[in-house]
Amino acid sequence: MIRAVAHGFCIYGFLLFMQVSALAGTPISDIAFHPSEPTAVWNGDFSVVAHSMDHSSPNRKIHFDPLKTGMFRIRGLTFHPNGKYLALAGGSPGTKGSILILKWPTGEVVANQHLDSDWLTCIAFSHQGAQLAVGPGSSDILVFEFMEADHSLDQKQILQGHAGSVMDLLFNETDQWLVSGGSDRSVKIWNLEQGELHRTYAHHTGIVYSTALRPSQANSAGLPFYIATASTDQTVRIWQPEIGRMVRIVRNHHTELFSVAYHPSGNWIASAGKDGVIRYIDANSDQILKSIEAHDDWIYALSFSPNGKWLASGDWKGNVQFHQVSSDPSQE
């Protein structure tokens, strides 16, 4: 069963955080918020856990048969931009990869794609929803066309260039560029219109576990898009990938980092990693605004709700916390 227990405390009537525990021994590797519903989902044990932020319904689990689907472990998940589908990536490490497309909210499996190589470590829908990119435990990124009419996945591109596992992926908001981070310590920028590698950043000295896109409304008109990356080298780095510029390095974490996320306002960033601490970072400088001792284990997943009111964090033990946030993280 799922345990849902409010562990925080209230100050002036405001809940500071709520903790939800999944099955013990199920590390939380990814958390996603629905684009329009007040719902967060994360990976469970042969299942997806769905949590209602407005408590309009109890937590529920969407189960699937791993023998039929090939999904023995979920590593990544992402909602389609229209909110009608949830895509899962994973499989069996070292053996085979699986992509599941679930109809939302029923959880019906409408597509099941198998890859006879290695399991999949990350997944991302394009902003228009027509493309789905997956990163495997091996080095090649696969880009599929997703046809909503018949729920088919048609492989369109194989992007080769990483020398190790692909750890995270994101599309920029025009879907022209794909950004990837890998165990080979590199950040790569792919031109999807040409189907080729545009640029490689080799500045990180540790595994690049996480990438995050700065929302476009935070950029001045005409500026290239920004991303943030988090690495086991204990830094968050900010880039303008299109023009090949590293903007800044955020140091003073003193721990290996596994996740980074932009607040929807684009004004600040959350980072987390091995020490269980969530740090809020000013998006326009290298200043760490606030540090919160959130988990007593490694944090592998961070995700902001679309309305910017909640930050979800997930750890190795299977605990998920929801932190209430505001426009000024220094006051959290």
Query: Mind listing the pLDDT tens digit for each residue in 260-295?
Result: 999 999 999 999 999 999 999 999 998 999 999 999
Residue 330: which domain range?
1-29+210-332
> Does the pLDDT value for residue 2 go beyond 60?
no
Identify whether the C-beta of residue 234 lies closer than 8 Å to the C-beta of residue 205: no
Do 7 and 95 fall into the same domain?
Answer: no
At a CB cut-off of 8 Å and minimum separation 6, what does 24 contact?
317, 318
> Does the pLDDT value for residue 23 go beyond 80?
no
Do 80 and 198 fall into the same domain?
Answer: yes
Do 107 and 136 fall into the same domain?
Answer: yes
CA dist 223 and 197 (Å) reads 21
CATH of the domain at 228: 2.130.10.10
At a CB cut-off of 8 Å and minimum separation 6, what does 282 contact?
267, 268, 288, 289
Do 170 and 243 fall into the same domain?
Answer: no
Do 170 and 94 fall into the same domain?
Answer: yes
- Beta pairing, strands 227-231 & 236-240: antiparallel
Do 141 and 263 fall into the same domain?
Answer: no
Residue 51 lies in a domain: no
pLDDT tens track for 189-219? 999 999 999 999 999 999 999 999 999 865 5
Do 82 and 182 fall into the same domain?
Answer: yes
Residue 74 lies in a domain: yes
> Does the pLDDT value for residue 39 go beyond 70?
yes
Residue 53 lies in a domain: no
Mean pLDDT value across residues 115-121 = 88
Do 7 and 106 fall into the same domain?
Answer: no
> Does the pLDDT value for residue 29 go beyond 90?
yes
> Does the pLDDT value for residue 154 go beyond 60?
yes
Residue 56 lies in a domain: no
> Does the pLDDT value for residue 140 go beyond 60?
yes
Do 70 and 195 fall into the same domain?
Answer: yes
**pLDDT number for residue 218:** 57
Domains held by the chain: number:
2
| pLDDT band with cut points at 50, 70 and 90 for residue 3 | very low
Where does a domain end: 202, 229, 254?
202
**pLDDT number for residue 117:** 76
pLDDT tens track for 304-328? 999 999 999 999 999 999 999 976 6
Where does a domain end: 202, 232, 262?
202
Task: Give me 253's structure tokens.
Answer: 């974490």
> Does the pLDDT value for residue 174 go beyond 50?
yes
Mean pLDDT value across residues 50-72 = 91
Do 222 and 289 fall into the same domain?
Answer: yes
Where does a domain end: 168, 185, 202?
202
The mean predicted confidence, pLDDT, of the chain is 90
Do 111 and 194 fall into the same domain?
Answer: yes
Q: Which position has the higher pLDDT, 98 or 330?
A: 98
Do 154 and 100 fall into the same domain?
Answer: yes
**Which long-range contacts does 80-84 make (Cβ < 8 Å, 24+ apart)?**
80/104, 80/125, 80/129, 80/146, 81/35, 81/125, 81/127, 81/128, 81/129, 82/35, 82/129, 83/34, 83/35, 83/36, 83/37, 84/148
